[in-house]
A = this chain, B = another copy of it.
Amino acid sequence: MRQSLLFTKTRKEIPKDEDSINAQLLIRAGFVDKVMAGVYTFLPLGLRVFKKIENIIREEMVAIGGQEILMPSLQPKENWEKTGRWEGLDNLFRFTSHYSKIDYALGATHEEIIVPLTKKFIFSYKDLPAYIFQIQNKFRDEKRVKSGLLRGREFFMKDFYSFHKDEKDLDLFYFKKGKKAYENVFKRAGIGSSTYFTFASGGTFSKYSHEFQTISSAGEDTIFLCEKCKIAVNKEIISEQNSCPDCGNKNLKEEKAVEVGNIFQLKTKYSIPFDLKYRDQDGAEKDVIMGCYGIGLNRLIGAIVEIFHDKNGIIWPEAVAPFKVHLLNLSKDKKNRDFAEKIYKDLQISEVEVLFDDRVDATPGEKFAEADLIGITYRLVVSDKTGSKVEIKRRNSKTSSLVSKKDLITKLSK
């Protein structure tokens, strides 16, 4: 894409009403726009990051058998009354339409929709297990919003639901396939090494639920880490049990962390209110056993920025960067400009995603500063000094090198 055509621009000043690093950098670099507290628009660069993360998540959910659907945000009051959450869930947006006079909830989560849905299709043990997910916008009436994209009133979430014949089958899926898929997502998104499987309170139906917590100074949560087992417990748990749930180690390391995913063994919590049962092989009617598995996309993007930035801007992990390459032409000389155009075209032919800073009214200093702020993995420079070669530098490296166009294409189109 040509930067001269991109309708967004970067900005130097830090937005006054944002105190989090993630929102400050994402707004300054033109990835998001703040509409109001807790509500953001994804701009072209931000939407590219969003789609990359969405695709990573989708691939991993499909790999464990997930079938994708798309449920609505407008939801009927009756369903939320059945589970006790019409009154019971503090941050549920609920309202009466002034025109159609109907009471609606705005989807904060989708158990109240998916369970009545599956009741139309699950009858027998032959229909189990079933794995269903969606990637969709959620609404939560947070009393206070903070931390930029980490906690918003509207945000995108992947919610995955599993349906099983018994707890043993749920356990197998939850601890083997579900957990592994989450580890794959965070690894591919670049935060695998800083993300820990964390024991959290399970509520009425389960001893534990589990969070995936990423170490970051911007996090709202405190976790207690067993460095031997590479697992953690959260604040709720540590008060009851101040040791590693796996090895019993009591020497746990305290850290602030961001929750980037959570998984729950719902068991019969939502199947009972909706009477979701199945007939077993012996003809007996039994409750369907459920698990649920969430990842907030806005939050994941925010967490990545909190972890990967320096004083000059964002440093995207390659797999989620808006483009692989940021090509800067600094020369006003026609020969060099044509050379930069040729590189742009050749990279496109080789299917390398490239943002081409072809602007004629920006100085080299401005172009370098904006490239650092935007944070694309490879920066290429064509200037009066680079001759027949191109300067290449990784965003997170201090040194650059000169390469021929041919070597460049070979290297980048791998």
Q: Which A residues, 311 to 349, have Cβ-Cβ distances below 8 Å to chain B?
A: none
> Is residue A33 within 8 Å, beta carbon to beta carbon, of the partner chain?
yes
Q: Which A residues, 27 to 44, have Cβ-Cβ distances below 8 Å to chain B?
A: 33, 35-36, 39-44
List chain B residues, Cβ under 8 A from A33.
117, 120
> Is residue A99 within 8 Å, beta carbon to beta carbon, of the partner chain?
yes
> Is residue A12 within 8 Å, beta carbon to beta carbon, of the partner chain?
no
> Is residue A167 within 8 Å, beta carbon to beta carbon, of the partner chain?
no
Q: Report the minimal beta-carbon distance from A379 to chain B, rounded to whole angstroms.
A: 22
B97-A41 in contact (CB<8A):
no
List chain B residues, Cβ under 8 A from A130.
7
B74-A47 in contact (CB<8A):
no
**Mask of A1-34 contacts with B, CB within 8 angstroms, 1/0:** 0000111110000000000000000000000010
Q: Which A residues, 63 to 117, have Cβ-Cβ distances below 8 Å to chain B?
A: 65, 67-76, 90-91, 93-100, 102, 106, 113, 117
Q: Report the minimal beta-carbon distance from A98 to chain B, rounded to whole angstroms.
A: 7
Given the interface pairs A8-B121, A35-B113, A127-B7, the reply to whether A143 lies near B99 with Cβ below 8 Å is yes
Bound Cα distance A6, B68 (Å): 11
Q: Report the minimal beta-carbon distance from A30 to chain B, rounded to whole angstroms.
A: 8
Given the interface pairs A41-B117, A118-B7, the reply to whether A139 lies near B35 with Cβ below 8 Å is no
> Is residue A287 within 8 Å, beta carbon to beta carbon, of the partner chain?
no
A99-B91 in contact (CB<8A):
yes
List chain B residues, Cβ under 8 A from A154.
72-74
> Oligomeric state, in number of copies?
2
List chain B residues, Cβ under 8 A from A91.
99
B76-A47 in contact (CB<8A):
no
Q: Report the minimal beta-carbon distance from A165 to chain B, rounded to whole angstroms.
A: 14
List chain B residues, Cβ under 8 A from A50.
70
Q: Which chain B residue lies CB-closest to A43? A: B69
> Is residue A221 within 8 Å, beta carbon to beta carbon, of the partner chain?
no
List chain B residues, Cβ under 8 A from A94.
98
Given the interface pairs A76-B35, A100-B153, A153-B100, the reply to whether A41 lies near B71 with Cβ below 8 Å is yes
Q: Report the minimal beta-carbon distance from A280 to chain B, rounded to whole angstroms.
A: 17
B70-A7 in contact (CB<8A):
no
Given the interface pairs A44-B67, A69-B41, A100-B142, the reply to whether A74 lies near B153 with Cβ below 8 Å is yes
> Is residue A132 within 8 Å, beta carbon to beta carbon, of the partner chain?
yes
Partner of A90, one of B99, B139, B142: B99
Q: Report the minimal beta-carbon distance from A12 to chain B, rounded to whole angstroms.
A: 14
The 9 closest A-B CB pairs, nearest first, are A95-B95, A42-B70, A99-B141, A7-B130, A74-B154, A44-B67, A41-B71, A36-B76, A39-B72
Given known contacts A41-B70, A43-B69, A100-B143, what 19 new A-B pairs fall within 8 Å (CB)?
A: A5-B67, A6-B67, A7-B67, A7-B121, A7-B122, A7-B130, A33-B117, A33-B120, A35-B71, A40-B72, A44-B69, A50-B70, A73-B139, A74-B153, A93-B97, A94-B98, A95-B96, A99-B142, A100-B153
